[in-house]
């Protein structure tokens, strides 16, 4: 699953919340509760999401107050969750880190605040442009000359395939008969990825690197010669291992500002019997991504999470959060490929409001047969969306009708769902309900690496 969609899902966590009050408008944000302001990277409890998935349709929230659960996008779980798990758990491109403020572990608390960040265990310590994740692996992140094309007879794994001096990538060398150069009792022919003894520094490092060695966490070195650093189970950021997490600069409104201001903030949660509740809230944020700007909007955001605290560590278990993902956000999420349902060139809005999407989600149509979102956020009547050319190989939404009856047509390179009003706000506030479920485990934030990004 592309990083853009994962970040879009992460955006659903970027909400501010409330202390609980009765309002006529079910989507109106509640005010921030009293208490200390959120100081980025200064929370008393730090965690990282260990699982993330679209919740089932029965696991959402009653967003509009009509007595029924809202989670239309839960119907995509069967398609999206396997790819989400693969991207989230295996590539580790994006990790969702969270810290909690003002929570003391007491049974009840009337003002708990928290901040969410985009993070990673991937690092580039040597500044060579290669990170340490499996997808862009740097197996020796203390040497900027590695990775590179394999150099034969230098007794080092140069291309990070786990083997030294091999003429064919990903295969053990077959012609090297050199003895054990570093004295670790493993030869290059047996799979030693570092057998150097040309300098005292290289010899000391080489002695720690051989098949079967234990990968040390967070040192940028592939000790066990599998081509990947930090690949021991104890280094898994999604286990209860308290692994150090790098916070991405995209987590802050201005990464050069002092003090830092997080994009992602909960401002007024309440805890009763170890259950955290938050919302409703409105969240808007623009995230720089791949030289573009991805504007996310989540309306009526709600959060519930079970808290467990042993006095020094906090775990959020059985968490779920939900809200309304706006049509403008759906129109910006591109690059997905979910079997034949979503084509890569389509936006998520295009896929969901044309063809198979309408039948999968059971979207209602207006009197003209144009499909509508399931949640009317602005209360002016549901927006509707349709495509003019149903016979095209790939269908795109090119006509959008506002709740007041105004029709907006797509312009070249600009989808109609991204039209703005006179104040510069997106016109199409209505959207599809969504809920995520997640678990979290303790983590540590690498504040040094955060400061280096500024």
Is 179 a residue whose pLDDT tops 70?
Answer: yes
Q: What is the pTM of this model?
A: 0.80
pLDDT at 262: 86
208 pLDDT higher than 90: yes
Which range has the top average pLDDT, 43-47, 56-60, 111-115?
56-60
Residue 334 has pLDDT above 70, yes or no: yes
Pairing mode, if any, of strands 275-278 and 292-309?
antiparallel
In this prediction, residue 10 carries a pLDDT of 62
Strands 244-247 and 444-445, sheet pairing: parallel
DSSP code string of 40-108: TT--SEEEEEEEEEEPPGGGSB--SSSSS-B-GGGGGHHHHHHHHHIIIIII-S-EEEEEEES--S-SE
In total, the chain counts a number of residues equal to 454
Among 77-91, 101-115, 410-424, the minimum mean pLDDT is found in 77-91
Question: Confidence class of residue 356 from pLDDT cuts 50, 70 and 90?
Answer: confident
In this prediction, residues 388-401 reach a mean pLDDT of 87
The reported pLDDT for the residue numbered 17 is 46
**CA 283 – CA 304 distance, rounded (Å):** 17
Identify the weakest region by mean pLDDT among 86-95, 107-116, 211-220, 373-382: 86-95
- pLDDT score, position 15: 47
Report the alpha-carbon distance of residue 413 to residue 6 in Å, rounded. 24
How confident is the model at residue 222, as a pLDDT?
95
Return the pLDDT at 266: 83
What per-residue confidence (pLDDT) applies to 357? 83
Burial class (CB in 10 A: 0-12, 13-18, 19+), 20: middle
Mean pLDDT across 42-46: 85
Averaged confidence pLDDT in the chain = 85
| 12 contact partners, CB below 8 Å, separation of at least 6 | 298, 301, 321, 322, 323, 325, 434, 436
Percentage, residues of the chain above pLDDT 90 = 41
pLDDT class for 145, splitting at 50, 70, 90?
very high
- Which of 125-129, 190-194, 293-297 has the least mean pLDDT? 293-297
CB within 8 Å of 195: residues ≥ 6 apart:
155, 156, 164, 178, 180, 181, 182, 184, 186, 187, 188, 206
Task: Extract the tokens encoding 426.
Answer: 């997106």
Q: What is the pLDDT of residues 230-278, one digit of tens each?
A: 888 888 888 777 777 888 887 888 888 888 888 888 889 999 988 999 8
Lowest mean pLDDT, pick from 277-281, 433-437, 446-450: 446-450
Where do the domains of the chain lie? Answer: 3-121+239-324+434-453, 124-236
Q: Which residues contact 277 (CB under 8 A, 6 or more apart)?
A: 20, 269, 270, 271, 302, 303, 304
Q: How far apart are CA 191 and CA 171, in angstroms?
A: 9
CA 409 to chain centre: 32
The mean per-residue pLDDT over the stretch 303-313 comes to 82
pLDDT at 254: 83
């Amino acid at each position: 699953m592309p990083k853009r969609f994962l970040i879009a899902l992460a955006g659903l966590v970027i909400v501010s919340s409330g202390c609980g009050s009765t309002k006529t408008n079910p989507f109106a944000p509640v005010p921030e509760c009293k208490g200390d302001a959120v100081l980025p990277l200064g929370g008393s409890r730090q965690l990282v999401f260990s699982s993330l998935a679209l919740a089932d349709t029965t696991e959402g929230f009653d967003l509009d107050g009509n007595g029924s659960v809202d989670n239309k996008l839960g119907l995509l779980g069967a398609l999206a969750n396997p790819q989400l798990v693969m991207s989230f758990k295996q590539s580790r491109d994006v990790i969702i880190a969270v810290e909690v403020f003002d929570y003391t572990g007491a049974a009840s608390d009337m003002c708990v605040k928290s901040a969410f960040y985009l993070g990673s265990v991937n690092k580039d310590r040597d500044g060579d442009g290669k990170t340490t994740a499996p997808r862009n692996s740097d197996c020796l992140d203390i040497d900027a000359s590695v990775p590179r094309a394999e150099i034969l007879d230098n007794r080092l794994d140069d291309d990070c395939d786990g083997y030294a001096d091999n003429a064919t990538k990903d295969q053990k060398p077959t012609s090297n008969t050199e003895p054990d150069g570093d004295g670790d009792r493993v030869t290059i022919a047996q799979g030693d990825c570092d057998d150097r003894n040309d300098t005292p520094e290289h010899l000391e490092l080489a002695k720690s690197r051989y098949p079967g060695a234990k990968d040390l966490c967070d040192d940028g070195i592939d000790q066990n010669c599998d081509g990947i650093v930090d690949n021991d189970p104890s280094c898994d950021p999604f286990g209860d291992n308290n692994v150090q997490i790098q916070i991405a600069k995209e987590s802050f409104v201005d990464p050069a500002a002092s003090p830092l201001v997080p994009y992602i903030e909960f401002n007024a949660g309440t805890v009763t019997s170890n259950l955290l509740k938050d919302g409703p809230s409105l969240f808007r944020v623009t995230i720089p991504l791949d030289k573009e700007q991805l504007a996310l909007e989540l309306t009526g955001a709600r959060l519930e999470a079970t808290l467990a605290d042993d006095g020094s560590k906090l775990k959020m278990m059985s968490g779920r959060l939900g809200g309304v993902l706006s049509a403008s956000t759906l129109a910006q999420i591109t690059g997905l490929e979910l079997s034949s349902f979503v084509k890569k060139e389509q936006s998520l809005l295009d896929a969901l409001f044309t063809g198979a999407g309408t039948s999968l989600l059971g979207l209602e149509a207006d009197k003209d047969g144009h499909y509508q979102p399931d949640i009317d956020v602005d209360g002016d009547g549901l927006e509707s969306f349709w495509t003019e050319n149903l016979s095209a190989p790939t269908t795109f939404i090119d006509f959008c009708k506002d709740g007041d009856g105004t029709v907006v047509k797509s312009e070249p390179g600009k989808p109609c769902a991204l039209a703005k009003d006179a104040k510069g706000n997106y016109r199409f506030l209505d959207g599809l309900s969504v809920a995520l479920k997640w678990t979290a485990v303790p983590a540590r934030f690498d504040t040094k690496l955060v400061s280096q990004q500024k």
